[in-house]
Each structure stands twice: as C-alpha cells, then as structure tokens.
Amino acid sequence: MYLPSEWHQQAFVQMTWPHQDTDWAPMLADAIVCFSEIAKEVAKREPLLIVAQDVAQAQRDLQTQGVSLENMTFVACPTNDTWARDHAFITCMEDGTDKDCAHRTKGEVILKDFQFNGWGMKFAANWDNQINEGILKEVKSIYEKASIQANYENHLDFVLEGGSIESDGEGTLMVTTSCLLSKNRNSTLNQQDIELKLKKHFHANRVLWLTESWLAGDDTDGHIDTVARFCTSSSIAYVKCTEKTDEHYEKLKVMEQELMEMRTADGNPYTLYPLPLPDACFDEDGLRLPATYANFLIINGAVLVPTYHQPQKDDMAIATLKKAFPHHEVVGIDCRVLIWQHGSLHCSTMQFPTL
C-alpha cells in the first residue's frame, strides 16, 4: 500500500460547494465565480464530484456561470465550509507488496478517513467531519464503474488534514512541524509518535520535516501545501521571498536552506523551483492574507495555478510551473476571493487516484 503522488492518474476530483450559511456569505457571488471556474477546468479533463448542502442550488450556480454539468456528480451533505483538501478522504492504493495487507487485492483503493477538527479547533467542523460518511456510497460507486474496489478505513482517532502532507508516491512524505505538532490536533503525541503514525498509515519509508513554513494569515498552522510541493520524486516547488523588508523573509530563507539540505531517497539534492511570494494582500481590517502560488492543483494533463491579479508575479509563477511540469498544461485561475477565507485553489479540492 502507498499514498500516490498528486500527478498519479486520477479517477476524479472532489469539491465542496459554498453556500449562504458558510463564511462565504458576504462574498458568495464572487466565491461561486471562482469555484465554478475551478470546476469547469477540472471537468474538462476528468470527473468531478461536488458535495453540496443544496444540490439544486449548486447546479444553478454552475449553469449561471455558463458551466456544463457534464462529467459532474453531485451529493447532498450538510457542510460547515468548503475546504475539501482537509475534510476529504486521503486515498491510498494497494500495490500488493505489503504482507500486512495480504487480504487486499492489488489495484484496490483504500479510503482513509481521518478526523478533521477545524484546523486545531479554530472553526466549527461538525458537519465537515461527517462528509466522508455521507459520500462513501457514491465514491465507492464511482470506483466500481471503473472496476476498482474501494475499501473504507476509519482513522477518526487521529487528526490529519490532506493539506498537511505531501507524497512523492515513492515512499517519501513532506510535512511541517508547525502543523503536525500543533497542540490542538494530536496533543498527546510527539514528533516521533507522529512520524511513526504517518509511516504506518501510508507505508512511507521516510518523512521530511520543514521547521519554518509560516505565511501571515494562515489558519492551518502552516500546511505544507501552502509553501512546498513535490513536482516529481526528485523536484520541489517552493515559496521564495526576495524582499528583505517582507515579514516572511527570514523564515522562508530558513525553509529554503532546509530544502537545499534535503536529499532524495537515493541521496541526491532535490531540483528546486522557486515560486515568487505574491505582493501583500490585505483584508478589510488591514490583516495580511495568505496568498501563495504553491497552492496549485495537479490533475490529469494539467496544473491549475492560483493567480492574484499581479501580472508580473502571476506570469512568473506560471512560467516556473511550466518548467516543473513540462508535460502538463498550466492554467491560471484568479483566486483572490479564496484567500479572503484564508485558503486557495489546492485547499478547495481533493484528488482520488486510479490505476
């Protein structure tokens, strides 16, 4: 069993739709425009599963934006918010090499359901933590149509969000200490305990820890998917700050040094692709928002990149990711509204692998 990389072939992507009873209410129209654009780009290339509190309304939202509902499946579930990356299943694949999984068949997928507690009990997550149970039947049905068996595993005794781990698909995970060791997630576990759990759950060989990964305005305590991402098993895209007067400069410089010192499984330095740090974006109270180009989504044949109406830096980020993903189309999507709720493009999606 292993946790596939994000560039592994995908069966579908999940999104959770915004509605009037979420924190999106003051900017719901703008949020729907952004979510619809992401949905359109995903559905062009692979199936999309949309979880919605009101399915009919979600469908009207999409159609109002001129988005076809073709290649989309909808499931009704009560929801607190929209960050599918963190409340969705983390899906592993059975490769038939593990003696502990001898009861499983090669090619099966394992839907691992971890506890989501609102990023360390910062926000209500009672409904979001039950979404996986609500969509399990539909997820299994999607896989069955592809002749793939999907098995459910309950790991609700362990708090873990999809945005907090990166996998190269070959046994290496990358995480941050600030998130996985935060006191309001798994407070009784130390770093060694957490690493052992990660290795056990995902049959990983090693875990790379970044100790400096902070972005102002980030509610996640430093999710890895906001600062550093595997592009291949030997390359990483990461956020680089070049302005010495920026509040992020010192910490991101330390993170860059940590990345430079990391080695691949075969002992070589990683190829590093520096992404620019967007110019500071602020909310109505003057608080900085966590804009980042590292929050991109890899799907079948494309990379969807958040942009922030900063032409020079947007273009630079897209150009860098074209180098990192030479065989993918790289598509920019305006995600300015998403950072107002302290997330971005990758945070709003979750991929499900296939054979």
Task: Give me the CATH number covering residue 108.
Answer: 3.75.10.10
Confidence of residue 213 (pLDDT cuts 50, 70, 90): confident
Question: Is 1 within a domain?
Answer: no
Question: Is 54 within a domain?
Answer: yes
Burial status of residue 261 (CB atoms within 10 A of its CB: 0-12, 13-18, 19 or more): exposed
Q: Are 247 and 213 in contact (CB under 8 A)?
A: no
Question: Is 247 within a domain?
Answer: yes
Q: Are 276 and 293 in contact (CB under 8 A)?
A: yes
Question: Is 158 within a domain?
Answer: yes
| Residue range 78-107: mean pLDDT, rounded | 83
For the cut 80, the answer to whether the pLDDT of residue 137 exceeds it is: yes
Question: What is the C-alpha separation between 222 and 218, in angstroms, rounded?
Answer: 7
61: nearest Cα among 46, 86, 82: 82
pLDDT tens per residue across span 140-171 = 999 999 999 999 999 999 999 999 999 999 99
pLDDT of 106 reads 77
Question: Is 110 within a domain?
Answer: yes
| Beta-sheet strand order (sheet of 150-159) | 90-93, 109-115, 150-159
Question: Is 53 within a domain?
Answer: yes
* Buried residues in 13-49 as b, exposed as e (16+ CB within 10 A): bbbbbbbeebbbeeebebbbebbbbbbbbbbbbbbbb
Phi, psi of 64 (to 5 degrees): -60, -30
Question: Is 5 within a domain?
Answer: no
For the cut 90, the answer to whether the pLDDT of residue 228 exceeds it is: yes
For the chain, helix (H) and strand (E) counts, in that order, are 10, 16
CA–CA distance from 122 to each of 45, 125, 188, 221 (Å)?
35, 9, 19, 11
pLDDT tens per residue across span 44-86 = 999 999 999 999 999 999 999 999 999 999 999 999 999 999 9
| Residue range 101-119: mean pLDDT, rounded | 85
For the cut 60, the answer to whether the pLDDT of residue 299 exceeds it is: yes
**What pairs with residue 351 in β-bridges?**
13
What percent of the chain stands above pLDDT 70?
Answer: 97
Confidence of residue 317 (pLDDT cuts 50, 70, 90): very high
Q: What is the mean pLDDT of the chain?
A: 96
- Strand pairing of 329-334 and 302-307? parallel
| Selected residue with higher pLDDT from 22 and 102 | 22
For the cut 80, the answer to whether the pLDDT of residue 97 exceeds it is: no
| Residue range 7-24: mean pLDDT, rounded | 97
Confidence of residue 107 (pLDDT cuts 50, 70, 90): confident
Question: Is 271 within a domain?
Answer: yes
Token pair of 108 as six digits? 């099966």
| Selected residue with higher pLDDT from 124 and 98 | 124
| Residue range 18-25: mean pLDDT, rounded | 96
Range of the domain at 71: 10-353
Q: Residue 103: count other Cβ atoms within 10 Å of its Cβ.
A: 7
| Domain total in the chain | 1
pLDDT tens per residue across span 240-295 = 999 999 999 999 999 999 999 999 999 999 999 999 999 999 999 999 999 999 99
| Selected residue with higher pLDDT from 284 and 106 | 284
Helices (H), 160-310: 177-180, 191-202, 249-261
pLDDT of 98 reads 61
pLDDT of 6 reads 98
pLDDT of 101 reads 56
